[in-house]
Structure 1
Amino acid sequence: MLHLLVIGASQGIGLETVKTALAAGHRVRAFARSAERISLSDENLERFTGNAVNASDIAAALEGVDAVVQALGVPVRDLLGPVRLFSDATNVLVPAMEKAGVRRLVAVTGFGAGDSREAMGTLQRLPFRLVFGRAYDDKDVQEMRIRKSDLDWTLVRPGILTNGAATDRFQVLDEPSSWRNGMIARADVAKFAVQQVEGGSYVRRAVVLVG
């Protein structure tokens, strides 16, 4: 049994990661500003209300955990303005983990972040940049900060996210020449994240996930 901290745990991939980790028998500290709204019931679940850019909240949340899954998201309405959540939260998390001696970090970003942007075709890249450009510029900074750390990190870049149950048929594209976009269930991304903290083979590597 591991003790996991999931940041961004109230919805999306974060919530699916909480569910997957609990189903696997792990203890989970579910960190979110609205953690009290998480409607799951499990003796191994701890709801932790906090702000991902608050250093005191993050330091407290790291106490006693073995690994961290960072699965932050921003509302669609915030994509039209400046986006700083991903980099600001990571600039708090990374030194806090180093200080606390928590080494394992699985960070969910997205296809199009970092060097995976080069794998996008021109027709896909233009509308992508128009809608998600500010967020992914910030994810670039997030990934760069993680890469510069001494942590045992994995960068997880899912393609187009869908709802529904895990399929277990997702593909892990670990070579830049194989990177491409594609659809994948949030539950499958969560399953991969939990597999990685359990003893994954992609430490200090970036991968693209598609269905």
Structure 2
Amino acid sequence: MARVLIIGASRGIGLETVRQALDAGHRVRAFARSAEKIALSPPTLEKMNGNALARADVEAAVRGVDAVIQVLGVGAGELFRPVRLFSDATRILIAAMEAARVKRLIAVTGYGAGDSRGSMSLLQRVPFQLLLGRAYADKDVQERMIQASALDWTIARPAVLTNGARTGRYKVLVEPATWRNGVISRADVADFLVKQIEDRSLLRKSPVLA
């Protein structure tokens, strides 16, 4: 089993990934500004308080791990201001991983990031740009940084997120011709992320999940 660092571990997809990674038998280092509040306490879980934008925190977090799962998010109130969290945090993370010789990175962006935006219809693209344009412009930069790195990366692009149960019945759409919008539960996104810890079939791929 692997030693896994999960960045953004205190809520949403990140917290669900912590749960599922532990259930799968991995040793988990949960990294978040409020990691100590995570209501889990198995011996294979290490809670590490830290800021994804603080270089020293991230450098400490990546030491001794086999893989990193990066799950970042911004609040609704931040969507209407310039967003730099995704690119700034990823720049710090890539440098820290390279220095620590940690190769495996599994990152979450979203459907509409990078070249997946071209598969949206005009009716989808207009409200997407109005509501999420600033955040996804920064996710575009984030993806380019990851893709240009020498890391063993996989980028997950989930469609519209729900709080539904883990079903395992989601689609992993690798080929651009198959990309489409849809819905997927955070628990199913976590299921995909945990599988990628040991599954190398999607190295240097950016599938859409729906």
Over aligned residue pairs, what C-alpha RMSD do you find? 0.7
Q: 1:173 matched to which residue of 2? A: 173
Q: 2:150 matched to which residue of 1? A: 150
Q: 2:127 matched to which residue of 1? A: 127
**Does 1:193 find its partner at 2:193?**
yes
Report the Cα offset of residue 209 of structure 1.
0.2
- Identity across matched positions, percent: 62
SS in 2 for 1:31: strand
Report the Cα offset of residue 95 of structure 1.
1.2
> Aligned equivalents of 2:22 and 2:165: distance in 1?
15
Report the Cα offset of residue 164 of structure 1.
2.5
**Does 1:25 find its partner at 2:14?**
no
Kindly report which structure 2 residues correspond to 1:34-183, keeping only aligned pairs within 5 A, or say none: 34-183=34-183
SS in 1 for 2:206: strand
Q: Which runs of 5+ in 1 are unaligned?
A: none
> Aligned equivalents of 1:201 and 1:17: distance in 2?
20
> Aligned equivalents of 2:87 and 2:32: distance in 1?
17
TM-score by length of 2: 0.99
**Number of equivalences:** 210
SS in 2 for 1:198: coil
TM-score by length of 1: 0.98
Which amino acid is 1:21 matched to?
A
> Aligned equivalents of 1:125 and 1:8: distance in 2?
28
Kindly report which structure 2 residues correspond to 1:7-22, keeping only aligned pairs within 5 A, or say none: 7-22=7-22
Structure 1 stretches of at least 4 aligned residues deviating more than 4 Å after TM superposition: none
Q: Which runs of 5+ in 2 are unaligned?
A: none
> Aligned equivalents of 1:84 and 1:134: distance in 2?
9
> Aligned equivalents of 2:5 and 2:75: distance in 1?
22
Report the Cα offset of residue 113 of structure 1.
0.1
SS in 2 for 1:206: coil
